[in-house]
Amino acid sequence: MPDSALALELDRALAGEDAADEARELAALLVAAVEPARFEVPQAEVEAALARAQPPRRAPVRRRPRLAVAFAAALALAAAAALILRTPTEDVEAKAAAALDRTYFVVEDVRPARPGLFRPTVVAGTVDPRRALGHWTASSGGDVLTETRVEGDRVTRWDAASNTLTVAESCRAFASGCADILDPVELYRRTLGSGTGALRKVGGDWEMTLEGAHVQQVVTVDGTTYLPTRIEWRDDGRPVSVVRIVTLDRHARADPGAFALKPHPGARVRHVDAAGKTVRVESARAVNVPRGALWLGPTWHGYPARAEQVRFTAGSALRIRYGPTSVWNYDEVVPPAVAAARAGFAKTATLPRGVVVRIYFTSEGAIVSDVELQGRRAAIVTAAGGKEDVLRGAEALTRAP
C-alpha cells in the first residue's frame, strides 16, 4: 500500500472508523506504544488550561490546513511504524555470510532422509572463498567415491565408479547441476544473500530456508557464531538428505596443496563446456606474441617462438610453440592437452622465487607443468626432455615485452 494511502487509512483506524487490516495493525501498535505514558486529567483542569491558552481574538478556523497537518502527522506516524515493522532486528544472512568469508576446513556427515535412498557419506575438504578455490572428497565406508576441485566457475571432478575425470567450465555442465556437485556448505555459502531466504528464531539459533534452482536448503545457523550446524536438503518440499556439520575450522589461509587434485592414472578424461558439450578446437590463427604473455623468450633450446591464438568451443587460449614444447596461456578454458594431463601422476614443486608448480606425467610420456605467475595461468607441455627441463622452463617463464 502506498504511504499516502496508508496514512489516510491509519487516520481512520485511530478515529475508530473502518480501515484496512494493515492500518488497524499499525494503529494498535502506536496505541500500545503510548499506553504506558497515558494518565487521567480532571475535566476542570482541562477547561482551565484551555482558557489560559485562549487568544484574545479567535482567528477563523480553516479546515483545510488542519486536515493537511493531520495528514502529515499521520503520514509520519505511518512511515515510522512501517519502518519499525519492516526492518529486521538482525541481518542474520549478512552475519552468516561474513562467518564463512575466510578459508575453512569442513567435515560433514551426509545421511539420507529415508533409509536406502543413498549410501551415507562423509564429505571433507577445504574452501577459500576469496580466491574462489575449493577441494573436497566424498567417501563411504572408507572408500573415496568422488573428488572435486573448484577454481572459479571451473570444476574438475573424478568419479571412482567410472574412473572418469571430468573438466567442466561450470558445475551446470553436470546433469545433476551445482546442487549435487558442490560441497553442501559451499552451496549454502553461495546461496546466502540471494534474497530468497525465510528466517525464524528457534531457541538460541536461527532456522534459515534458502530456495535454490533445484533444491531447498533448511539450515540451522548457530545464534552465536552464525556458522551452519545442520543442513536439510529438500526436493519439492520432501526431505532428501540431512547434513550434520562435524567440523568447521576457519583459517587465515590454506596451503596450496590443500586444493590439489590427487593423481588418477588411467582415468578417462572428459572436457566439456558450461553446457556439457565436448570442447573442440574451432580454429588456430598465427599471431605475434602479445605483450604481457608468459613465454620462454624469443627462443628456447634453439627453437624460435611461434604464437597462435587457438579458439575452442568453450573459449580461446594462446599457444606459443618452441618445437616439441608449447607454452599455453589460458584463463577462460583449460586446453585439452592440459586437462588430459591432470588425470595422470602429479608432483608439486616450489621454485626458488616462491612459485608453486604442479607437474603431471601423462600415460603417453608427455610432461605438463601448470603454473600461476603474476596473476596469469600458464602450462608448459613437452614431449621431450624430463622433469628437470620442465622445472627449468617454469623457472624461466617471464612476461613478454
pLDDT tens string 113-142: 888 888 999 999 999 999 889 999 999 999
Same domain, 232 and 283: no
DSSP 17: -
Q: In this structure, are residues 231 and 217 in contact, taking their beta carbons and an 8 Å threshold?
A: yes
User: Is 197 among the domain residues?
Assistant: yes
Question: What are the residues facing 12 on neighbouring strands?
Answer: none
Reading the block at residue 130, the C-alpha cell is 576469496
DSSP 336: H
Q: What is the rounded CA–CA span in Å between residue 221 and residue 91?
A: 13
DSSP 176: T
Same domain, 99 and 232: yes
Same domain, 385 and 291: yes
pLDDT value for 159: 93
Tell me the residue range of the domain where 109 lies: 93-256
Same domain, 135 and 218: yes
User: Is 46 among the domain residues?
Assistant: yes
DSSP 351: -
Question: What are the residues facing 96 on neighbouring strands?
Answer: none
Same domain, 98 and 14: no
Q: In this structure, are residues 166 and 174 in contact, taking their beta carbons and an 8 Å threshold?
A: yes
Same domain, 112 and 250: yes
Same domain, 242 and 368: no
Q: What is the rounded CA–CA span in Å between residue 339 and residue 371?
A: 14
3-state secondary structure (DSSP) of residue 68: helix
pLDDT value for 316: 92
User: Is 271 among the domain residues?
Assistant: no
pLDDT value for 88: 47
Same domain, 250 and 285: no
pLDDT over 50 (residue 100): yes
Reading the block at residue 399, the C-alpha cell is 612476461
> Which residue would you say has higher pLDDT here, 338 or 307?
307
User: How many domains in the chain?
Assistant: 3
Provide CB contacts within 8 A for 128, sequence distance 6+.
Answer: 103, 134, 253, 254, 259
User: Is 261 among the domain residues?
Assistant: no
3-state secondary structure (DSSP) of residue 199: strand
Give Cα 321 distance to the centre of its chain: 37
Question: What are the residues facing 144 on neighbouring strands?
Answer: 139
Q: What is the rounded CA–CA span in Å between residue 337 and residue 153?
A: 20
Q: What is the rounded CA–CA span in Å between residue 72 and residue 79?
A: 10
Tell me the C-alpha to C-alpha distance, in Å, between residue 83 and each of 76, 154, 328. Answer: 11, 43, 57
At 150-203, the pLDDT tens digits run 988 889 999 999 999 898 888 888 887 888 889 999 999 988 877 666 889 999
Q: CATH number for the domain including 134?
A: 2.50.20.10
User: Is 267 among the domain residues?
Assistant: no
> Which residue would you say has higher pLDDT here, 242 or 178?
242
DSSP 278: B
The single residue listed with the C-alpha cell 600458464 is 378
User: Is 349 among the domain residues?
Assistant: yes
pLDDT over 70 (residue 317): yes
User: Is 268 among the domain residues?
Assistant: no
Q: How many CB atoms lie within 10 A of CB 117?
A: 11
Q: What is the rounded CA–CA span in Å between residue 261 and residue 96?
A: 29
Give Cα 225 distance to the centre of its chain: 19
Q: In this structure, are residues 125 and 136 in contact, taking their beta carbons and an 8 Å threshold?
A: yes
Same domain, 69 and 196: no
Domain end point (choices 28, 57, 86): 86
DSSP 108: E
pLDDT over 70 (residue 392): yes
Domain end point (choices 86, 101, 130): 86
Residue 334 pLDDT level (bands cut at 50, 70, 90):
confident
Domain end point (choices 256, 271, 296): 256
Q: In this structure, are residues 8 and 19 in contact, taking their beta carbons and an 8 Å threshold?
A: no
At 67-84, the pLDDT tens digits run 444 444 444 454 444 444
Same domain, 143 and 97: yes
Reading the block at residue 210, the C-alpha cell is 534458502
Lowest mean pLDDT among 101-110, 264-273, 336-345: 336-345
Q: In this structure, are residues 330 and 379 in contact, taking their beta carbons and an 8 Å threshold?
A: yes
User: Is 266 among the domain residues?
Assistant: no
Question: What are the residues facing 126 on neighbouring strands?
Answer: 105, 135
Same domain, 299 and 392: yes
Backbone angles phi, psi at 83, to 5 degrees: -65, -40
Same domain, 247 and 113: yes
pLDDT over 80 (residue 26): no
